[in-house]
Chains A and B, each alone.
Chain A
């Protein structure tokens, strides 16, 4: 796969091999290609949302090398030899992940643009702290912006997700 945003072939590219959602992918990329653009446009992983492209909104949040990161603040070349996980990997065989179910049940989204980022941040929070209180939840989601919901339903969903995961 050759990846070039501009269609120009005179710029040097670099070969990378990345494990994306458990599968090894090899691609030729320009060093300046952001991981967010690589995942969304070239891997067609549409849960990776590109919002502000400067580290503020959190819509592009993925798991990179074991922790969540804003993929617009990583270059795809940095992912060479590393693992990346997106929301596509959360649901198994079409069944929603308990965190996704909780967001659905609690109406934790309206337009849904921000949701993937919140799901990834929530997943890391609950892996580290299975029973967070409201303050901890707010702090853990502080890198993610939602322009629709007013956040309360999102915080409720995280609590519901914590209960679901505990019951598993």
Chain B
């Protein structure tokens, strides 16, 4: 379990890191190392250079204003989990963080690493898809913004160029004012150490939480490990929007999810089982989000 030899670089600023990524052939960013080290130990990855970005304090921020929430790439899972700002603005994000491994892994793992890895089973890619996040990327040549939907292309394959770093994530707040919104992140997993068989992120906004029959104005559901990218199920969302929540609408939403997914078979979960999980967890995520919106 020893990685292949590499050269190690520890830049102290974003500009320096981007220069290194531009100049060094076969260089890989190193963040929390909670995924990369496993790949390297098993020789599934053997970069010639590692560019350690852990000293880039400028990528370690959580900020919210009326329009959006911004989270830096170097924010650790533990910080996401404990962020009061995120708990108030986008509670499904810290909920998702708390369901990654145990606290020792969460002390090190980062937002940028989780997105950069591009694992469709990952918690944050699913959160980013559900909340319509924009990923911010930078290279020595400049920066650009890519919507989550375009960023994730296939399993472990993203729109990031080799000389680019993810610097952060921007999430619009406008669809989900906290007072009329409920959110949740549900993960089906055997143990803390295992990746989820399937996860579901849900968000629901109602017109008036105090009404007898609050009308669902906006619903979101995204599934992890159900296709080769984090999958937002728009058809399921539109089953709910515009009327008070009913069992019939939930059942219809579940059916669309059953059809929409394209899951990879695993040792303990065949394709049909995963489709059934997608159906059930779409319903549970939307129900939980709705119940929290009206509570």
> Using a CB–CB distance below 8 Å, which chain A residues touch chain B?
5, 11-12, 14, 30-32, 34, 53-56, 58, 61, 67-70, 72-75, 77-78, 80, 121, 124-125, 139-145
Most interface-central of B7, B78, B104, B108 (chain A CB within 10 A): B104
| Bound-state Cα–Cα, A73 to B193, Å | 14
Do residues A31 and B104 form an inter-chain contact, with CB atoms below 8 A? no
Do residues A58 and B8 form an inter-chain contact, with CB atoms below 8 A? no
Q: Which partner residue on chain B sits nearest A117 by CB separation? A: B104
Nearest CB on B from A15, distance (A): 12
| Bound-state Cα–Cα, A12 to B34, Å | 25
**Chain A residues within 8 Å of B37, by CB:** 54-55, 72-74
Nearest CB on A from B163, distance (A): 21
Do residues A78 and B192 form an inter-chain contact, with CB atoms below 8 A? no
Q: Is B167 an interface residue (CB 8 A)?
A: no
Do residues A31 and B6 form an inter-chain contact, with CB atoms below 8 A? yes
**Chain A residues within 8 Å of B1, by CB:** 53-54, 72
**Chain A residues within 8 Å of B33, by CB:** 73-75, 78
Q: Is B42 an interface residue (CB 8 A)?
A: yes
Q: Is B103 an interface residue (CB 8 A)?
A: yes
**Chain B residues within 8 Å of A12, by CB:** 7
| Bound-state Cα–Cα, A121 to B6, Å | 31
Do residues B5 and A11 form an inter-chain contact, with CB atoms below 8 A? yes
Nearest CB on B from A135, distance (A): 12
| Bound-state Cα–Cα, A53 to B2, Å | 9
Most interface-central of A121, A143, A144 (chain B CB within 10 A): A143
**Chain A residues within 8 Å of B50, by CB:** 31, 75
Do residues A69 and B2 form an inter-chain contact, with CB atoms below 8 A? no
Q: Is B38 an interface residue (CB 8 A)?
A: yes
Q: Contact check: which of A11, A14, A68 meets B8 at CB < 8 Å? A: A14
Known: A54-B1, A54-B38. A70 touches B104 (CB 8 A): yes
CB contact list, B105-158 vs A, under 8 A: 105, 107-108
Q: Is B102 an interface residue (CB 8 A)?
A: yes
| Bound-state Cα–Cα, A72 to B102, Å | 16
Q: Is B41 an interface residue (CB 8 A)?
A: yes
Do residues B41 and A31 form an inter-chain contact, with CB atoms below 8 A? no
Q: Is B225 an interface residue (CB 8 A)?
A: no
CB contact list, B1-55 vs A, under 8 A: 1-8, 10, 33-34, 37-38, 41-42, 50, 52, 54
Q: Which partner residue on chain A sits nearest B1 by CB separation? A: A53
**Chain B residues within 8 Å of A78, by CB:** 8, 10, 33, 52, 54
Further 11 A-B residue pairs, CB within 8 A, beyond A31-B6, A72-B37? A11-B5, A12-B7, A14-B8, A53-B1, A54-B1, A54-B38, A67-B108, A68-B103, A72-B1, A144-B102, A144-B104
Do residues A32 and B104 form an inter-chain contact, with CB atoms below 8 A? no
Nearest CB on A from B106, distance (A): 8
